[in-house]
Amino acid sequence: MRTSRFIPILALLGAVVLVQLLTLAGGKAFFLTQLTMSAYYTLIVIGLCLLMGFAGQISLGHAGFFAIGGYTSAVLTTLDLAAYKENPLVAMLAKAGVLTARQDLYGGSLLSVHPWAACVVAVLLAFVIAWAIGIPVLKLKGHYLAMATLGFGTIIYSIVLGTQRFGAADGISSVPPFPLLFGVSVSGDSSLRVLNYYFAWLLVTVAMVLLLNLISSRVGRALRSIHGAEDAAGAMGVDTARFKLSTFMLSAVLAAVAGVFLTHYNGGIGPSEASIMKSVRYVAIVAVGGMGSLWGTLIMSVVLNFLSLRGYFGSFDDAVFGGILIVIMLFAPDGIIGADLRRLVGKIANYKQQNSNKSQ
């Protein structure tokens, strides 16, 4: 990574530390709960920004991938296999560490899938589903692609809402903490609030480093060419189908990872996380931040998700995000932050060029 991309990452880490210190000094440590949740939602949004802003492929089904990750992990980690512990396969999995024993809320003994194993299964499932639907769906363009991904999101929502094993309208609760290192776990435990905050933003930082390097590489140039003129890119030898599919799968994996960790952080997941309005919300955030600006999208994701989680939009939450999307599409299609950041970078580049010419 070049220095020009390294400095913003340091600024992000500095901002994360500064916010935590400010909440501590102001006696507002409870804000870290919403900021942690905002970090996980941001993980989805920056992946969607890559897909929409660089590959030029719209998706109205990313809430479905979030739900696949969250529900898969929730089902596996709450599934009690204690009655089958004598089964050779179950015994082998338990010995290998894939299954783990724990206590339920009432002190009973449970034998369920270890959260790390459940996470791997959840991410792989999202990866495979993204591959399976991406091959035919990404052949579509424009509103046809939007409707196809909308259909996928509707299917996932209907499945989790109508299936009793997924808790139907009540969702799944009593999801155990996700163990990390040194006794730290991803959970809603107030004593681990600060550590969970830093872990969530560490994930976002790692994802930003990955995506920033990706868009500055040969792959990023190929994605921009696809966004600008897909037919011309194909004529120049760019494997447009492969690049679009790979980007779609990467964004789906980021959504699934966010789903896994936020589910363990909240201790449960409900069907609202798979709703169409969630997908619309993610698209609206990308539009506000600027479809070609990862940093603009990250900033707006934190701001809007935090305000929403704090209840500032009240019962008009979905209406606010729908209205934001309409206004942005009408008056600022480049995003209110993305356009300004690009304009500022352009001015700085021109200023340096002028100074360089004068010195010569």
Percentage of the chain modeled with pLDDT above 90: 57
Residue 340 has pLDDT above 60, yes or no: no
DSSP letter, residue 140: -
Residue 360 has pLDDT above 60, yes or no: no
Determine the pLDDT at residue 238: 84
Cβ count near 349 (within 10 Å): 10
Question: Using alpha carbons only, what angle is made at residue 74 by residues 71 and 78, rounded to the nearest 5 degrees?
Answer: 145
Locate 260 and state its tokens: 């896994």
Locate 206 and state its tokens: 């790692």
Q: Are 233 and 221 in contact (CB under 8 A)?
A: no
- The DSSP bridge pattern shows strands 185-186 and 99-103 to be unpaired
Determine the pLDDT at residue 160: 95
Segment 171-193 shows an average pLDDT of 90
Residue 348 has pLDDT above 60, yes or no: no
Segment 117-123 shows an average pLDDT of 96
Q: Which residue has the higher pLDDT, 1 or 156?
A: 156
Indicate the angle between helix axes 294-309 and 193-215, nearest 10 degrees: 150
Q: How far is CA 129 from CA 125, 210, 243, 246, 286, in A?
A: 6, 22, 17, 13, 23
| Integer Cα distance of 215 and 207 in angstroms | 12
Determine the pLDDT at residue 176: 92
Segment 263-270 shows an average pLDDT of 95
Locate 329 and state its tokens: 């599409």
Locate 51 and state its tokens: 């897909």
Q: Where are the domains of the chain?
A: 3-359
Cβ count near 240 (within 10 Å): 18
Determine the pLDDT at residue 183: 82
| Integer Cα distance of 3 and 122 in angstroms | 35
| Integer Cα distance of 224 and 205 in angstroms | 23
Indicate the angle between helix axes 276-289 and 142-162, nearest 10 degrees: 140
| Integer Cα distance of 210 and 240 in angstroms | 21
Least confident of 28-37, 203-212, 339-348: 339-348
Cβ count near 249 (within 10 Å): 19
| Integer Cα distance of 123 and 215 in angstroms | 23
Residue 150 has pLDDT above 90, yes or no: yes
Q: Which residue has the higher pLDDT, 285 or 107?
A: 285
Segment 95-124 shows an average pLDDT of 87
| Integer Cα distance of 131 and 207 in angstroms | 20
Q: Are 296 and 290 in contact (CB under 8 A)?
A: yes
Mean pLDDT score across all residues of the chain: 88
Segment 225-250 shows an average pLDDT of 87
Residue 113 has pLDDT above 80, yes or no: yes
| Integer Cα distance of 313 and 321 in angstroms | 10
- The DSSP bridge pattern shows strands 185-186 and 178-179 to be antiparallel
